[in-house]
Structure 1
Amino acid sequence: MKHLSLAIIGDIHGFWTSVDTEYFSKSEYDAVLFTGDLGTYSTESTFRVAQEISKIRKPCYLVPGNHDTTSLFQLLAEILHLPSFLTWPSLPWHLRRYSRFRKELGNIRICEYSLHREIAGLAILGARPLSMGFRMNFLPFLRKKFSVSSVADSVRRLDSLGKEAAEAGTDVLVLAHNGPAGLGSRASDIWGCDFRKEEGDFGDADLATFLENAVSCRRAPNVVIAGHMHHHTKRSVLFRIWKVRKSGILFINAARVPRIFRDAEGVSWHHHVRLTRKDGVWDAEAVYLRKGVEEVFPLPKLLEREKTSVQEGD
């Protein structure tokens, strides 16, 4: 089986420079994968980052996040759990922003309820776009674009794609914005909630059900990649677990936010995750570029703790 090396970029939230564009363009990665949330609360910031990453001279894949194409009003409506009929009037503007978003991304492949087989020996399955975690989000958009109105609808779409991917006889990688439920309810767990006193599991139910179905049918994906729940939790000094193995699946949360930052000595670092397949085995490691150059050893203690915040299971 061919050796593969993929770069995973977690939620960008505006933290992208020409240093990143050149590094990934000149790298030996076979492809670059993005978990979404390119901008902040401004759609213009999203479009700016989309323009920049479209310049990468490598195959790129992206699943849209909840900050991509949505308005501040829509985000607040989801946070407050307002009825979806209140956001229906904003759908035409949402669709216009979505159209421009796709245009700014150029040749980047959009992964949303879709299957991509351009990489030899690998099928990339795009999960539900625009997820904010815990519940179904932006239903007017999902109904209009994908005929998805419920968790059950979403599971059916994912099951169909999973079956098609399994029939191709290749390894399968799921690219989502938020990860599945069922991997822990502590603030420090891979998709645990860190902004509520009671903590809790903030993973997606539809993705979790799809994975349960896939495991029971012996066609589980090899890797599930997502972001959304940021690595640095709001619980003081807790570090989020960003890599987990369970039921034969490698789960990765790549959302180190901010992904460009300075250490205590003022040195600039750029974060991404390196995903590799070697001799049929998938694994991942956190990579820190020091001033745009491959990681330098020894890493600062804080970064070493981040890098090793993983949970190895079966």
Structure 2
Amino acid sequence: MTSQESQSNIVKIAVVGDIHDQWEIEDGIALKHLGVDLVLFVGDFGNESVEVVRAIASVNIPKAAVMGNHDAWYSATEWGRKKCPYDRTKEDWVQEQLDLLGSAHVGYSKLDFPQWNITVVGGRPFTWGGHEWRFANICKERYGVTDLAESAQRIFASVKSAACDTIIFLGHNGPSGLGDRPEDPCGKDWHPIGGDFGDPDLAEAISLTITAGKQIALVTFGHMHHSLRYTKTELRKPIFTSPEGIVYLNAASVPRIVEGENGKLRNFSLVSLEAGEVTQAALVWVGEDFQVVKEEVFFERSANVS
């Protein structure tokens, strides 16, 4: 297949929402059955769950990942260090996770996929969300980033070094600017209810990218679970489309593995990309026979009428 032919085809992307220790060997098999080209992991694998990350690192499909706040749960805060189940003077589970992922970890970095003309750019690793920077010390210690303005520039630096024309932003939390209602993609759904809990540095990096004339197809993230804390009568809005046509997808359908009438069901968000544009985004549930048993289409781009 020539590069021109490959770029004219649809690229099928799976986005795996917050895992929180729910990852099994069947998940890798399900991804193969779904026929995805690329897998994006939004982080929160577990509370510094090295073995979960080890299993994910072994998935034999092109992939990119960012780390969530839970992935530094015992290292980034004083209360977490007090509950740490291992000797931090002898082990560093955060670094073990990063080492296992290697170049697939794109926090403050990027990964080029020239076969599809896509560069995946990672947001700030270990983000907790919101305008108050929680977990700030771990970014200062490991990445030398000391404030949100520096963080935005660090993310944008990866955009400037992208080898491909189409940018996908991969964050643990989404950017600010997607709404301040509790049911919005990054809205605050705990007391006091309401407010935009998105990351301002990611929003700034996206704004800089648009100003630079780069094509952004997708911004995908998790952290803010679809199930809301203040009500069970509705779910969080998983999708937002900007005036520029950028699709913002929250993939955190948690728990991502549930017991159904006929056994376990596991969810993945699936995104179709064609000529640098998202044509469809959906949440699918895969059954024990690895067939899709339920699909909820969140976004579908109407065909252009000439």
TM-score, normalised via structure 2 length = 0.84
Query: How far apart are 1:312 and its partner, in Å?
Result: 8.6
Whole-Å separation in 2 of the counterparts to 1:309 and 1:295? 16
Q: Deviations over 1:224-277 (max 9, x none)?
A: 1100000111122221111211132111110111000134x4642110011111
Question: Is residue 2:169 matched to residue 1:174?
Answer: yes
Q: Is the 8 A contact 2:165 2:215 kept in 1?
A: no
Residue in 1 that maps onto 2:4: none
TM alignment of 1:28-43, pairs within 5 A:
28-39=35-46, 41=47, 43=48
1:64 to 42, 64, 67: 67
Residue in 2 that maps onto 1:85: none
TM alignment of 1:262-273, pairs within 5 A:
262-263=259-260, 265=261, 267-273=263-269
TM alignment of 1:183-198, pairs within 5 A:
183-198=178-193
Alpha-carbon spacing, 1:22–1:170, altered in 2? closer, same or farther (3 Å): same
Alpha-carbon spacing, 1:202–1:21, altered in 2? closer, same or farther (3 Å): same
Whole-Å separation in 2 of the counterparts to 1:125 and 1:13? 23
Alpha-carbon spacing, 1:8–1:18, altered in 2? closer, same or farther (3 Å): same
Q: Is the 8 A contact 1:245 1:312 kept in 2?
A: no
Question: Is residue 2:152 matched to residue 1:155?
Answer: yes
Question: Is residue 2:290 matched to residue 1:293?
Answer: yes
Q: Is the 8 A contact 1:10 1:272 kept in 2?
A: yes
Return 5+ residue gaps in structure 2 as ranges.
1-6, 82-87
Q: Secondary structure at the match of 2:121?
A: strand
Residue in 2 that maps onto 1:118: 113
Residue in 2 that maps onto 1:245: 241
Q: Is the 8 A contact 2:112 2:164 kept in 1?
A: no
Query: How far apart are 1:155 and its partner, in Å?
Result: 1.3
Q: Percent identity between the aligned chains? A: 28
Q: Deviations over 1:50-88 (max 9, x none)?
A: 12222312122110111113317728579xxxxxxxxxx
Q: Is the 8 A contact 1:244 1:311 kept in 2?
A: no
Which stretch shows the higher mean deviation, 180-189 or 266-275?
266-275
Q: Deviations over 1:161-214 (max 9, x none)?
A: 22233xx45111011100000101111111111112332111001111122222
Query: How far apart are 1:119 and its partner, in Å?
Result: 4.3
Q: Match of 1:4, as an amino acid?
A: V
Alpha-carbon spacing, 1:224–1:163, altered in 2? closer, same or farther (3 Å): same
Residue in 2 that maps onto 1:48: 51
Residue in 1 that maps onto 2:217: 222
Residue in 2 that maps onto 1:89: none
Residue in 2 that maps onto 1:127: 123
Alpha-carbon spacing, 1:75–1:176, altered in 2? closer, same or farther (3 Å): farther
Whole-Å separation in 2 of the counterparts to 1:157 and 1:189? 27
Q: How many residues align?
A: 285
Alpha-carbon spacing, 1:176–1:193, altered in 2? closer, same or farther (3 Å): same
TM-score, normalised via structure 1 length = 0.82
Question: Is residue 2:30 matched to residue 1:13?
Answer: no
Query: How far apart are 1:141 and its partner, in Å?
Result: 1.7
Alpha-carbon spacing, 1:213–1:109, altered in 2? closer, same or farther (3 Å): same
Q: Match of 1:98, as an amino acid?
A: V
Alpha-carbon spacing, 1:187–1:58, altered in 2? closer, same or farther (3 Å): same
Supply the RMSD in Å over aligned alpha carbons: 2.8
Q: Secondary structure at the match of 2:285?
A: strand
Residue in 2 that maps onto 1:277: 273
Q: Secondary structure at the match of 2:219?
A: strand
Q: Is the 8 A contact 2:165 2:214 kept in 1?
A: no
Residue in 1 that maps onto 2:84: none
Q: Secondary structure at the match of 1:37?
A: coil
2:202 to 196, 201, 207: 207
Whole-Å separation in 2 of the counterparts to 1:65 and 1:277? 25
Q: Is the 8 A contact 1:70 1:94 kept in 2?
A: no
Alpha-carbon spacing, 1:260–1:203, altered in 2? closer, same or farther (3 Å): same
